[in-house]
Structure 1
């Protein structure tokens, strides 16, 4: 099997930078990073003179892209379109995200994700189910007529993934404890989001099943002097990760930097919460029979509520670096930390034995190419 290589001005392997070096892989697996002068002359090296190579970006919350919403095109072709659209923005892998919908649609989404995994659709790692098991007081753009407390009998009827990652965003105060326990035992990664819980409501034995918090600050009870809310709980829970949207619309620079200062290293990670408009020429799309539009570079529904984001991972990373977060840390927030959060042990670093996945950026942090499973796009 042939070896391939890429080199750049700098390579960040997930831990440190390398210069005058090349990333070499064979098939789907990284062989290592070596001084370019020592690479076998038979191996053709693709060189990016002013570029930066990082571990492939991983976005665990992608609702759509390329004009497609996962809710509206819940099949392998829809997933493939979304993955291709986000590849242009540096995302090597993602979790297609189903926004609150009917049990039938959840069934379709799980089936589509498993089919995509089975046929090796490049870029999919599993699925993210965001709602409908959430709190109407923090619904955002979700349709509250679809919300319900899932019973175990219903959960048992769904075709849960046999491979890949299943991430579920739910409001713990709106889901019965037995179902939370069942989902956790099933192997789903549970994240608290769209929640209006008090700190006290989150202080029970079943909160231990919660691994993270979805889009920190947004659609969750705020931190106040007399009540820490979900935001306070998210910031104070050292073992839980928090995803954050860094489009400078959902979260301010100051709030993002505060979270970065408070959370332990490795526990704050970037998501886009991107919608169909990313990678699409159309400024609007439909979600649950409602028109969502790009207005002043932000997505809003007909009521003016934020409805996801119009941003890719490369711009998200560029923003946090511009805000003052260390460059290496920003790359980790987009690759290494998401991989750890969703237990993808062979992603997030450019190390021997890891999947051949990388994002190639220009000096302005705009994505130039993406390596996915040993294939360079």
Structure 2
């Protein structure tokens, strides 16, 4: 049996068509609110066939892969780049594969490669790249996230304001017929034409609000028409005040809206992160918003003619404006444990169950149960990444 070594852990490579077993000293299945001790996971054809308590006979198997903690594969809804690759700079299936491989070093099993605002209908290149990557069997790709260009000029963030525009009928035709897994679309809902959200919802597009100056009433109306969540809560959106809750207040008060949050200590004050985690335990999703510097060698790049530099974990332009993030999913998880009062099961929920539900894929990913995909993030006692299994196959994060 071939093996690779990752951070001191020797992991056998298992063919996804061969029945296999995995031992978890602790298991987070995404269904219970606590960790379960000493569990065996049985796998065949890339799916979980059985989860059961381990026996003494299991313990005597020297070939049995064993991990301190096994959780559903982490899901990152928003990642712009990794491994010296930026999706906007290279919207190709090869780039998608490199970004996914870079993300796996931080424990991420599934990604939505994110294409930000670009001129005209450049976003169609991103859709085509993800469609091709999925067709080629690139592991870990659930779909594509288009963050723009249908945003608000009042809240552009680092996006190119000259490329921000309103959606038109031709855009809606393209978006509602896209075939690239799940399509997550970030928009400023206050700028959408009447009926656009209903049409997107009917086509299965998952619409988030982001880079938006919408009022709370506008968000409530958008939610009634199909809005699913918000992109990077607290950032590039209207804030909560005494008489106008804004996007932030509307999201916290909602019973259904999901929200991504960047838990890097730079984008959102830890007290706000903790408040969101407390109020939205079943709706908050950890996202990295990572750029090409993650798991890469580069410490700077150019975006829309501006130089972006990495310094002390922050990616900023010359004026100090944040330009994406430099944080992995495992770092985000550890940050939640260090800076909020939630425990490990609740923190794991933000990286697994919640993003799966946000995408409408909770029957396939995000939990560990019979019939679900055999995709796991395996951790050490110190909450470091030991291995990532993708649909029955361990994948070396350093080699894709």
Same fold (TM over 0.5): yes
Three-state SS of the structure 2 residue aligned to 1:103 is: coil
Aligned partners of 1:111 and 1:93: how far apart in 2?
18
Q: Structure 1 residues 328 and 177, CA, compared in 2 at 3 Å: closer, same or farther?
A: same
Query: Which residue number in structure 2 is paired with residue 279 of structure 1?
Result: 295
Give the alignment partner of residue 29 of structure 2, picking from 6, 9, 13. Answer: 13
- Is 1:210 the equivalent of 2:230? no
TM-score, reference length from structure 1: 0.94
Is 1:108 matched up with 2:128? Answer: no
CA distance in structure 2 between the partners assigned to 1:357 and 1:203 by the alignment: 35
**Partner Cα distance (1:208, 1:157) in 2:** 20
Which runs of structure 2 are paired with 1:117-156 in the superposition (5 Å)?
117-156=134-173
Question: What's 2:206 paired with?
Answer: 189
- Map 1:1-377 to 2 at 5 A: 1-14=17-30, 15=32, 16-37=34-55, 39=58, 44-48=63-67, 51-157=68-174, 160-162=177-179, 164-204=181-221, 207-263=224-280, 265-323=281-339, 324-344=341-361, 345-377=363-395
User: How many residue pairs align between the two structures?
Assistant: 374
Q: CA deviation at 1:36?
A: 2.9
SS in 2 for 1:80: helix
1:259 and 1:339 map into 2 onto residues whose CA distance is: 18
Q: Relative to structure 2, which stretch is displaced further, 164-173 or 20-29?
A: 20-29
Whole-Å separation in 2 of the counterparts to 1:201 and 1:239? 16
- Structure 2 residues not aligned, in runs of 5+: 1-16, 396-400
> Deviation digits for residues 124-148 of structure 1, max 9, x if unmatched?
1000000111112211110010011
Deviation at 1:167, TM superposition (A): 0.3
CA RMSD after TM alignment: 1.9
Q: TM-score, normalised by structure 2?
A: 0.89
Contact 1:4 1:43 (C-alpha < 8 Å) held by counterparts: no
Q: CA deviation at 1:302?
A: 3.0
SS in 1 for 2:248: helix
Structure 1, 153-162 or 340-349: larger mean CA deviation = 153-162
Bigger drift between 38-47 and 321-330 goes to 38-47
Q: Which moved more, 1:126-135 or 1:250-259?
A: 250-259
Q: CA deviation at 1:115?
A: 0.9
Residue deviations 1:50-72, cap 9 Å, x none?
A: x2111110000010000111000
Rounded Cα–Cα distance in structure 1 between residues aligned with 2:222 and 2:105: 43
Aligned-residue offset at 1:118? 1.3
Structure 1: gaps spanning 5 or more residues: none
Contact (CA 8 Å) 2:176, 2:205: kept in 1 or not?
no
CA distance in 2 between counterparts of 1:143 and 1:248 reads: 25
